[in-house]
Amino acid sequence: MLFLNILIISVLTILFVLNFKNKKLKIPIWKYETEAEMLGKIGEKNVSIMLKFLPKDYRIFNDIYLEVNGITTQIDHLIISNYGIFVIETKNYSGWIYGGDSSEYWTQNMYGKKYKFYNPIKQNFAHINVLESILKIQKYKFVPIVVFAGDAELKINSKNIVIHLFELERFILNYKTKIFTNSDIEKIIEKLRASIVLDENIEDKHIQNIKTRLKQKKEMINHGICPKCKTKLVEKNGRYGKFIGCNNYPKCKFILKKQEVI
């Protein structure tokens, strides 16, 4: 499986380069502050290339921005079909990836060096909440997917969908029960297009929005306040050791392992 994953990544990389030369896809290296940001954008492009192999009746939207109550949301890939709305969050990492559904952060282990990144499952559910609000569609009609476009080895403890890029097309096509008519799809797309932000400065605004929210979240956690419900955070003993959780549990299930304190 690892060999197949590497092979597909190599083919997609070649296709990406050819597309870059022939169609002049804009990936300005100078625009990204870190290598991780640039690799993330390349991962998204590779996923968008893979999605082109889906049948034509699957309506695909890549890299869209939505705004609700002044808060921006960026969705890597959105597929609207008769069989559901697939919401895809893309990550482009190598090494070993550890995490679970409830973890606030996941960990990348690269040759013994560990790096944290925000739980992409939670990230994707936030996207679905926004889409649910805009499109007025029940949550069960959305299919959240986290796709790793790199050659990462996934050591994930999750009930949600976390897959490699080479599994994506087959996974989507496995959904065969129709829940939307063609007329439904046209109405959904009309609503979606009306909500997409086309401001050329939206990416910069979105990045600044994220930095502001992360700063506020960090300050709240450092002051012992739950960033989700603003209740007091307390230290608890769990099955796998001590962790910090919301005192309002089970109404609020925010938790933070001690090593995850930021």
List pLDDT tens digits, range 48-86: 999 999 999 999 999 999 988 878 899 999 999 999 999
Lowest-confidence region among 21-35, 69-83, 222-236, 245-259 = 21-35
3-state secondary structure 6-68: HHHHHHHHHHHHHHHHHHCCCCCHHHCCCHHHHHHHHHHHHHHHHHCCCCCCCEEEEEEEEEE
pLDDT band at 20 (very low <50, low <70, confident <90, very high): very low
pTM (whole model) above 0.85: no
pLDDT band at 115 (very low <50, low <70, confident <90, very high): very high
What is the per-residue pLDDT for 218? 78
**Do residues 191 and 134 touch, judged by C-beta distance below 8 A?**
yes
What is the per-residue pLDDT for 13? 52
Query: Across residues 166-171, what is the average pLDDT?
Result: 96
Q: Tokens 């492009």 identify what position?
A: 45
Query: Across residues 19-39, what is the average pLDDT?
Result: 53
First to last CA, the chain: 36
Residue ranges of the domains in the chain?
2-222, 223-262
In angstroms, the CA 43 to CA 152 distance is 12
